[in-house]
Structure 1
Amino acid sequence: MKLSQTLGKTIGDFCGNGFHDSSANHCAHFVGHVLNLDTGYDCKVHRRGKKGGACLRVHELFADCPEVGEFKEAAPFPCIAFVTARTNVSLSKHTMGNIPQKHVGIYDGKYIYHYSNGRDVVVRQTPKDFLDRFEAIYAGTQGLYYGTLPAGAELPV
C-alpha cells in the first residue's frame, strides 16, 4: 500500500486488534501501524490482541526516533512529524512530555499524512497547514518537529 492509499481510511482498516474506538486518539496508532512500529504501549497489549501491535503514544514514538529536531523546509524525508507546545519538548534531552495536546503524522517530502481524530479518517496536509491547524486548536505556541525513522520502520512504497 502506498502512503497516498491510506487517505480516507479509518483506524479499523489498519488495526487487527480491535482498537477502533472513535472517541480515542489514534494519531500515533495510525503511524505505528503504517510504519510497523511496535514500541512502548501498543494496541496488542491494550486490547489483548493476537495481531501485530502498534504504538499508541506520541511521546513514545518521539523517544524511539534516532534523531529529532526542528522541522524546517529541509527536514529529512521520509520522517515522522510531531506537533506540540514548544514547552513540551526538550530536543537536547530527546524527550516530549505526555500531555494531551500533541499530534503525529508521516512526512513524505510534500505532505504530512495523519489521523484526523475529529473526522476519524486519515488526511494529509502540507507542513504549514499541519502546524497552522494545531496552532489554532492547541494552547500555547506550537512547535513542529521531525523524527527520523526508527530501526525496523517499514515505509509503504
Structure 2
Amino acid sequence: MRIRIDLDDTCSDVEVIIKTSQLNEQVAQIQKALSQLSRAPLVFYKGSSEYFVKIEDILFFETDGSKIYGHSRDNAYEVKLKLYELEDYLPSYFCRVAKATIVNTRSIYSLDKSFSGTSTIRFYETQKQVHASRHYYQLLKEKLQETR
C-alpha cells in the first residue's frame, strides 16, 4: 500500500481518494475509519440533559422496547439512532452479539458459554452483563481475536 499526500492551496476542504483494483476488506476498513473521523460526536440523553460521553467508555448498546440505550459502567443513556445505524457509526471494535445488542469488545472481561448456546458477556469493573446469541458467537470470537 502506498500513501501519498498532495498539498494544494486552492483546496478548501480535505479530499481523500482511494485507488484500488478491487474492493477488499482492507479498503473497506480504511473507508470506515475515514468516515468515522468526519462524523459528529454521538449525543446521549438522560431526562432533559444531553451528554457527550466518549464512545470508548460505552460498554454496550441495547434496545428496550422502542428505545436504544448506551450503557457505561455506572449509567445508561438514551441514543436517538437505531441499532443498525449505530453499527455503521461505531468504531470497528464494536460488535453485534444479539438482535438487540452491540458490545464494545475492548471492555469485555469474560465470555461464559452455556449449554443452550447463548453466552454471558461480563465487563471490566462493573456488574453489568449481556447475553450473546449463538448466531453471533463466532463473529464475537473473531472480533475479540482482532482487538486483543
Fold match by TM threshold 0.5: no
The structure, 1 or 2, with the larger RCO (C-alpha pairs under 8 Å, 6+ apart) is: 1
If you compute each CA radius of gyration, which structure gives the higher value, 1 or 2? 2
Higher strand share: 2
